[in-house]
Structure 1
Amino acid sequence: MKSIFYWMMLIPFLVFSQDQQTNNEEYLIVGSAIYSAKSDKMKEFSEGMKNHNEQYHAEGAMGVRIFTIMNGENAYDYMAVMGPMPWSALDTPNPNQEAHDQDWENNVVPYLASEEEVTFWRFHNNFSHFPTDFEMSKLRVTVWDIARGNYDEMISKLEKVTKVLKEKSSETPFGIYTNEFSSTKSGQDLSVVYFFDDFAWLGKDQKLKEKFDEVHGSGSFDTFAQEWMEITNGATQELWIYNQSLSGIGPQVTTSTED
């Protein structure tokens, strides 16, 4: 595993407040990586990951959460998520690095089939919505491929849609992220993450069109949808389930994006 990612796994996922982004000069980032266990070593992998996280990532700045991916080409792999933090945090040495790395190499790496998709995402606090004190459970993650030269247009459209979500669907937490090192090959430019508790939420009509028209005027959603298709090259969606047994810290998110 890459040494920079070792360090990043010492940072808790989604522990922040609005002031961190508005008052600091640096913006915040979130890191993610996908792990696949060897099919005949699932028990050993689970035990190694569980023990590693309990020992090195169970509290405070050393916390980490693991999610199981439920669909798509990464189905049944594991997503590790960490951050947010400013880039400058990577300049601070970790006093437990050597012991952490040895445990990982000895008790987890031998049971990994692969490690891939290490990605750094910029968190957009002003476009996101985290109510006070909610818990991680299930995530619907949509990653958009934005056509070249359309970043500013994307941002202007995000302003419109997040305004609708905050006003009309305030009960549903969501986060907006952009890839710090996107490429035309990967197509991973924008990530929209919804947090929900029950699978039934997936089967409900969220009535986005109606809500959008209520906020921006009749017919505005159809115009928005057409313009959005013109600046994007498609998207992929995954369902992630918080994995309590492999995570170092619990599901509670104790801060919010509210003032």
Structure 2
Amino acid sequence: MKTILFWILLAPFLVFSQSDQSNENEEYLVVGTTVFAPKPGHMDDFKQGMKAHNEQFHNGGDWGVRIYNIMNGPNTDKMMAVMGPFQWSTLDKPRENAEAHSEDWDKNVVPYMQEDLNSTYWRFHHDLSNFPPNFDVNKLEIVMFDINRMEGERMKKELAKVTKVFKEKYPDMPYGIYTNEFAATNDGRDMAIAYFFDHFKWLSKDFKFKENYNAVHGEGTYDKFMQEWKDITAGAQTEIWVFNQALSGIGSQVTTGSRVEE
């Protein structure tokens, strides 16, 4: 079961059309993530097995793999595997080379991997996100929020205001907004914003968000927004991910003009 679950969560990251979810009656898009770590003393064995496995079984299409190194927080020095976006019905389809895949995974990767996997499914909100037509994945800032109970709709209303500011004042900044499909009240990961950047210097940049928020929505509205956000959220956590090309099955280029095939 561990093998099936883990590899369900590995495929291309952010290959989609931003109009895919225009009809609420249609299936929405989901992104899957899994945190994992090599066993102590087996880093080289793990890397060798993971690299060979991804190159053979996850080098493109729906099952292509991107892996990231986590720089900070409780998951420091662990790795993140990402799949999606996909529709839930995608997981109903049979997997090609499933037997050979599982055999290679169990023989060449599992023996060198720690047992404590942590998997999450995130619903992608295209209307609250912004991506250029094509860009290269390099580094990500992931901000995860703990949302208070019964505040989901209020949260989306406030996020729409933030999205309006970003699209008017930062139109070239790629970011995505996601909500946890199976959130738990004590998990602290109900909603996430993923920012994509190329150089660590970006982290020190002053984006003057307060000034720009007031410019878009009116003087004094930023302070009102912050009070609303304080009431909606119970806390937040930020992680920095760095793309690991050596262990990934596919490259860094993201194409936002296509979608997962039905």
Indicate whether 1:206 and 2:221 are aligned: no
User: Counterpart in 2 of 1:20?
Assistant: 20
Whole-Å Cα distance in 2 between the matches of residues 58 and 184 of structure 1? 37
**After the TM superposition, which parts of structure 1 deviate over 6 Å for at least 4 consecutive aligned residues?**
none
Whole-Å Cα distance in 2 between the matches of residues 112 and 69 of structure 1? 16
Deviation of the 1:95 alpha carbon: 2.3
Task: Write the mapping of 1:183-202 to structure 2, written as runs, cut at 5 A.
Answer: 183-202=184-203
Whole-Å Cα distance in 2 between the matches of residues 5 and 109 of structure 1? 11
User: Counterpart in 2 of 1:66?
Assistant: 67
Amino acid at match of 1:55: Q
* Structure 1: stretches of 5+ with no match in the other structure: none
What percentage of residue pairs aligned between the two structures are identical?
52
Q: Deviations over 1:67-123 (max 9, x none)?
A: 000011101100000010110111101121111111111111111123422000000
Whole-Å Cα distance in 1 between the matches of residues 231 and 219 of structure 2? 21
Whole-Å Cα distance in 1 between the matches of residues 162 and 219 of structure 2? 15
SS at match of 1:163: helix
Q: What's the TM-score, normalizing by structure 2? A: 0.94
SS at match of 1:233: strand
Amino acid at match of 2:120: T
Q: Deviations over 1:155-176 (max 9, x none)?
A: 1001000111111111210000
Cα 1:5/1:111, change in 2 over 3 Å: closer
Whole-Å Cα distance in 2 between the matches of residues 117 and 18 of structure 1? 28
Whole-Å Cα distance in 2 between the matches of residues 113 and 4 of structure 1? 15
Amino acid at match of 1:244: Q
* Structure 2: stretches of 5+ with no match in the other structure: none
Whole-Å Cα distance in 2 between the matches of residues 249 and 80 of structure 1? 12
Whole-Å Cα distance in 2 between the matches of residues 234 and 158 of structure 1? 16
User: Counterpart in 2 of 1:157?
Assistant: 158
User: Counterpart in 2 of 1:5?
Assistant: 6
Deviation of the 1:142 alpha carbon: 0.5
Task: Write the mapping of 1:159-178 to structure 2, written as runs, cut at 5 A.
Answer: 159-178=160-179
Amino acid at match of 1:210: E
Contact 1:6 1:101 in 2 (8 A): no
Whole-Å Cα distance in 2 between the matches of residues 18 and 192 of structure 1? 16
Contact 1:134 1:253 in 2 (8 A): yes
User: Counterpart in 2 of 1:120?
Assistant: 121
Whole-Å Cα distance in 2 between the matches of residues 58 and 73 of structure 1? 30
User: Counterpart in 1 of 2:239?
Assistant: 238
Q: Deviations over 1:178-226 (max 9, x none)?
A: 0000011212100000000111100111111011001000111111011
Q: What's the TM-score, normalizing by structure 1? A: 0.95
Deviation of the 1:2 alpha carbon: 4.2
